[in-house]
């Protein structure tokens, strides 16, 4: 079904007749109803996981309500004899009594949904217009990583430290290994990949609790929901498995493994770029290998567990489902990281020919021209797709300083931004932020227009947006994090 407004979508939820396809349309087109979809009894686990990953406070509240055991509804006392001359039978009275708890339950759900929707609208963040604080970290600051409690962690590449930021202040500076990159588990444990000394630092309560030797040239890890950490070691063709503060396994895989990804069923996939393969890991064992196209790039996992791999060497997308290659889809020249919309649509930018391929199922349904050197897109809460163009601007071709806007199968606008724009980032309220590394600014986009251009530190990284809408931009050259508001 196609909904024409929010009222129709809410009516479908309240009637209990919304299909899985309807639910994906609702969360894409009507962000204010995401909390209602979270409460909807038939919402599948994959979509609940996607909603949870948004970091939306209203969705989190709805998830907590959904997971909280509900007390049984008491059966009301029998009604008094009817005043009407029409006397109900015993069976009619029993049916009426059975219906009352259902009516009460629906009323409660409606009240909860209304409360959550109102809360979401009242607390929606507003687009940033200026730098409200500048936090001094260490040299070579990496993009902040936000823990579940809102604490920020910044790896300082030039100083072998991690800065801990709470309330816009550095509250701790923790010595770690060389060239640190940070990842955070769901329980708040911090894992720091020290790329130049082949170790992992484990941080808890602002202290290094363990330094774990791994393989040669480790990549950023993937962390399973249960807390198991998988680290690909590019230089010695292994994957290190860490549980808590201990190395529990070292798994040989194919040549030059890169960033691992974890499917909802716990299967771990590890790309080997030079080997044209994906290694499959179950638990602590290498179980299979899947042949992909030439020079596979960063993979992405869909909520249903499907793996999409962009093959930059032969301009295809490998589709892997249930540990098997199920399709190879031709796309544009030089494809990059696929991006998946809530309804399952896949968008693939191709830097070599300036296009975006739109994939439904295993078919390309549209090829949309955008600017030169497009980066992987971002999908805003209303389903609009934003593509940053021209990052490889070298001063000779300096006309492509734009963001392309895609709605449906068409590019509907081209928005001028700064020099060497980053991949766009979407905030919970739909605002789009683009860091312009070439002129040290951040462009703020609402709809099809730049509403602010904010000066920040030198050569800014990709912006990071917190669940409350706060925006943080690290500048490695100046060793700062700008806070936008």
- Length of the chain measured in residues: 485
Q: Is residue 76 part of a domain?
A: yes
Q: Is residue 41 part of a domain?
A: yes
- In 3-state terms, what secondary structure has residue 114? helix
Task: Look at the chain and report how many structural domains it folds into.
Answer: 1
Q: Is residue 31 part of a domain?
A: yes
Per-residue pLDDT at 259: 83
CB-based contact 6:30 (threshold 8 Å): yes
Provide the residue range defining the domain that includes 84: 6-122
168: left (phi over 0), alpha (psi -120 to 50) or beta: left
- In 3-state terms, what secondary structure has residue 125? coil
485 residues of the chain, pLDDT tens digit each: 666 666 677 667 766 678 888 888 887 767 768 878 888 878 888 888 888 877 677 777 778 767 655 455 455 555 554 444 434 444 544 444 444 444 444 444 445 555 554 544 444 447 888 999 999 999 999 999 999 999 999 999 999 999 999 989 999 999 999 999 999 999 999 999 999 999 999 999 999 999 999 999 999 899 999 999 999 999 999 999 999 999 999 999 999 999 899 999 999 999 998 889 999 999 899 999 999 999 998 799 998 999 999 999 999 999 999 999 999 999 999 999 999 998 899 999 999 999 999 999 899 999 999 998 899 999 998 889 999 987 654 444 455 689 999 998 899 999 999 998 889 999 988 899 999 988 999 999 998 999 999 999 999 999 999 988 899 999 998 899 999 98
What does residue 37 show for φ and ψ, rounded to 5 degrees?
-65, -35
For residue 217 the two structure tokens come to 């040239």
Q: Is residue 340 part of a domain?
A: no
Q: Is residue 286 part of a domain?
A: no
Q: Is residue 189 part of a domain?
A: no
Per-residue pLDDT at 392: 57
Task: Say how many C-beta atoms besides its own lie within 10 A of residue 285's C-beta.
Answer: 10
Per-residue pLDDT at 15: 62
Q: Is residue 282 part of a domain?
A: no
Per-residue pLDDT at 206: 94
The CA–CA distances, whole Å, from 116 to 39, 52, 56, 318 equal: 10, 15, 11, 40
Q: Is residue 205 part of a domain?
A: no
Q: What b-and-e string marks burial along 379-396, b requiring 16 or more CB atoms within 10 Å of the CB?
A: bbbebbbbbbbbbebeee
What does residue 102 show for φ and ψ, rounded to 5 degrees?
-65, -40
Long-range own/partner contacts, residues 269-273 (CB < 8 A, 24 or more apart): 269/299, 269/301, 269/307, 269/320, 270/230, 270/232, 270/239, 271/296, 271/297, 271/298, 271/299, 271/309, 272/296, 273/297
Per-residue pLDDT at 14: 62
């Amino acid at each position: 079904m196609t909904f024409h407004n929010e009222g129709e979508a809410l009516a479908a939820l309240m009637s209990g007749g919304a299909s899985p396809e309807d639910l994906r349309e609702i969360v894409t087109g009507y962000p204010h109803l995401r909390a209602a979809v979270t409460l909807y009894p038939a919402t599948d686990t994959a979509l609940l996981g996607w909603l949870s990953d948004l970091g939306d406070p209203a969705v989190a509240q709805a998830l907590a309500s959904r997971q909280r055991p509900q007390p049984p509804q008491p059966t009301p006392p029998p009604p008094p004899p009817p005043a009407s001359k029409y006397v109900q039978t015993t069976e009619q009275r029993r049916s009426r009594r059975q219906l009352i708890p259902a009516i009460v339950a629906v009323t409660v759900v409606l009240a909860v949904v209304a409360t959550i929707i109102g809360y979401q609208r009242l607390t929606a963040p507003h687009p940033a217009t200026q730098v409200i604080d500048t936090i001094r970290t260490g040299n070579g600051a990496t993009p902040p990583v936000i823990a579940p409690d809102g604490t920020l962690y910044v790896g300082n590449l030039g100083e072998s430290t991690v800065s801990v930021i709470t309330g816009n202040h550095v509250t701790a500076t923790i010595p770690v290994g060389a060239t640190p990159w940070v990842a955070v588990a769901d329980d708040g444990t911090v894992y720091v990949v020290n790329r130049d000394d082949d170790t992992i630092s484990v941080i808890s309560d602002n202290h290094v609790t363990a330094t774990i030797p791994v393989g040669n040239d480790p990549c950023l890890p993937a962390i399973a929901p249960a807390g198991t950490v998988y680290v690909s070691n590019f230089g010695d063709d292994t994957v290190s498995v860490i549980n808590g503060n201990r190395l529990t396994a070292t798994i040989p895989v194919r040549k030059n493994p890169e960033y691992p990804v974890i499917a909802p069923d716990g299967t771990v996939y590890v790309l080997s770029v030079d080997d044209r393969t994906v290694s499959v890991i179950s638990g602590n064992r290498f179980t299979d290998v899947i042949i992909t196209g030439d020079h596979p790039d960063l993979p992405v996992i869909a909520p249903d567990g499907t793996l999409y791999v962009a093959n930059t060497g032969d301009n295809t997308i490998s589709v892997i489902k249930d540990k098997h290659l199920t399709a190879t889809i031709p796309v544009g020249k030089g494809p990059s990281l696929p991006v998946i919309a809530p309804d399952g649509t896949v968008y693939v930018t191709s830097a070599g020919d300036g296009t975006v391929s739109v994939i439904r199922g295993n078919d390309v349904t549209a090829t949309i021209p955008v600017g030169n050197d497009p980066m992987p897109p971002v999908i805003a809460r209303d389903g609009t797709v934003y593509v940053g163009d021209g990052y490889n601007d070298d001063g000779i071709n300096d006309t492509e300083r734009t963001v392309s806007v895609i709605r449906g199968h068409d590019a509907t606008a081209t928005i001028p931004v700064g020099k060497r724009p980053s991949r766009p980032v979407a905030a919970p309220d739909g605002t789009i932020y683009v860091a312009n590394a070439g002129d040290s600014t951040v462009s703020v986009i609402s709809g099809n227009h730049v509403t602010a251009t904010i000066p920040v530190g030198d050569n800014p990284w990709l912006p990071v947006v917190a669940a409350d809408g706060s925006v943080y931009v690290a500048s490695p050259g100046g060793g700062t994090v700008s806070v936008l508001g």
